[in-house]
Amino acid sequence: MPTVVVTGASAGVGRAVVRAFAERGADVALLARGRDGLEAAAEEVEAAGRQALVLPVDVADADAVEAAAATTEAELGPIDVWVNNAMVSVLSPVEDLTAEEVRRVTEVTYLGYVHGTLSALRRMRPRDRGTIVQVGSALAHRAIPLQAAYCGAKHAIEGFTESLRCELLHDHSRVRVTMVQLPALNTPQFAWVRSRLPGHPQPVPPIYQPEVAAEAVLWAAAHAPKELSVGRSTVLALAANRISAGLVDRYLARTGYDSQQLTEPVDADRRDNLWNASRGDPGAHGRFDDRALATSWQLTARMAVGDVAAALTGVLAGKRRAR
């Protein structure tokens, strides 16, 4: 059975990804800071009949990530898929950000991916197999106001991954790397993200359920496209940015503040998870179930086209071998 590592496994997209891999027969190593969420995720893996390995880790700590990778291979076997997903963010105008906040977002959301990728490569390159999935965002290509630190980190992941992909091709390596660009999702992060907005944070509509993201991650792990964009909003945003980034700047300047917050004020005693994990089991879903889409026709169509292309490639390869 395959062995999969998922960072940010305790909540949101990571939690949905963990559940989806286990339901499809994988043993899963769970990396995150929050033990309560990790233990609950492990119970879901075991309920699916698979093995779970709980590894409380802050991915900003490279040594801790490396130790988690070593423990995973000792307990579950060689790592087949590594999913980098852990993130933190700060919703704030740039002028109000502190250097410490930007550093922390960068260390988790960008360097956490670097640390995971390096640990995966140390094991996959000698075996010449394995897949690294970088969970990205439409914001890796098109930044929005109030999320400069997070957008910067996602842009950095894109650049890092492109460099790695070129190197793997140069070396004729069969290790694969793929990036999944996600839309706005109904996850718990909006209950705990650090925010200086007057209103309660929300994902920018349209909003999708985290299971849509999980479906995309599993498909990307199996097929390893260069990049997989998820949701019509992601596709349209990236297309509009390519056509006229200046017009998109002006549009976001008008709409980007209100679209990221509710009219409901923020609780005075609200805590965030920038430095410390939230307590309890957050689960995969946030508070926006009544507004979130459970499917994406764009993703369904994209996967269908990819499946047909892969089948045709297999047929043609078989014919060439038969000659």
Within 10 Å of residue 271's Cβ, how many Cβ atoms?
Answer: 12
Ordered structural domains, the chain, with CATH? 3-322 (3.40.50.720)
**E strand intervals along the chain:** 3-7, 27-32, 52-56, 81-84, 90-91, 131-137, 176-182, 184-185, 194-195, 199-201, 207-208, 227-229, 261-265, 292-293
Q: What pLDDT score does 216 carry?
A: 97
Crossing angle for the helix pair 297-322 and 232-243, nearest 10 degrees?
80
Nearest Cα residue to 299 out of 187, 208, 238, 170: 208
Within 77-143, residue ranges assigned H as helices are: 99-105, 111-127
**Tokens representing residue 246 in the block:** 């200046």
Q: Is 150 a catalytic residue?
A: yes
Nearest to 229 by CA among 281, 158, 156, 167: 158
Catalytic residue among 113, 150, 208, 251: 150
pLDDT at 318: 59
What pLDDT tens digit does each residue of the chain (323 aa) get? 799 999 999 999 999 999 999 999 999 999 999 999 999 999 999 999 999 999 999 999 999 999 999 999 999 999 999 999 999 999 999 999 999 999 999 999 999 999 999 999 999 999 999 999 999 999 999 999 999 999 999 999 999 999 999 999 999 999 999 999 999 999 999 999 999 999 999 999 999 999 999 999 999 999 999 999 999 999 999 999 999 999 999 999 999 999 999 999 988 888 999 999 988 999 999 999 999 999 999 999 999 988 877 766 555 555 566 55
CB atoms within 10 A of CB 73: 14
pLDDT at 88: 98
The C-alpha R_g of the chain, in whole angstroms, comes to 19
Question: 103 with 111: CB under 8 angstroms?
Answer: no
Q: Are 4 and 28 in contact (CB under 8 A)?
A: yes
Predicted local distance difference test score (pLDDT) of residue 320 = 60
pLDDT reported for residue 269: 85
3-state secondary structure of 203: coil
Query: Does pTM top 0.85 for this prediction?
Result: yes
